[in-house]
Structure 1
């Protein structure tokens, strides 16, 4: 697989060089400048793609690689927690203090009845 990636990168690198040379030749003339600039940009993208094929996945997409590793760790932690809760006989909702907090929050949000009391003049 690595040999195939290197071969594809080499072909793309040569293609980027040819397209870049053609874009540079077209950009010399003012009449063909609108054709030369897009070819130069295409050559740049092809060169970047060829360089990306040579690098390992962790270097090409460090954020995706990190998030997949973090996601795997989080999933295994959830699985382990679920297993421990099953052994203890509690569900995830019983183990969390969210129910108690919600009752306390409801009490705080409940409007208190206030009388007018005596008015002082």
Structure 2
């Protein structure tokens, strides 16, 4: 049997980034605010991310078996990206602050790597 050697993880290039998304103040807004202000801003930001060199690998929305506040997981949906560098990750999270929607939505980025037993 081949011995598994597991040294220090290597930081991938591009970065593998898991971004969790939580609705926070969203629940305290009117339907009109959601439709006319928040959703257009949110869609615009996510669309802008397409031009920053990032590659969206997949999304996951937990709403099939949940409703309401995020609960103990602290997220409603997540995005998995390959992102060229740390500054781009920072720019992505900052885009919510810059657009003023960080009081309605929360993002958190985690940097990892492809799982070595599955993706070689």
Same fold (TM over 0.5): no
Instruction: Select the structure that is richer in helix.
Output: 1
Greater RCO, 1 or 2 (C-alpha within 8 Å, sep 6+): 2
Q: TM-score range by the shorter chain?
A: under 0.3
Please identify which structure carries the higher strand content: 2
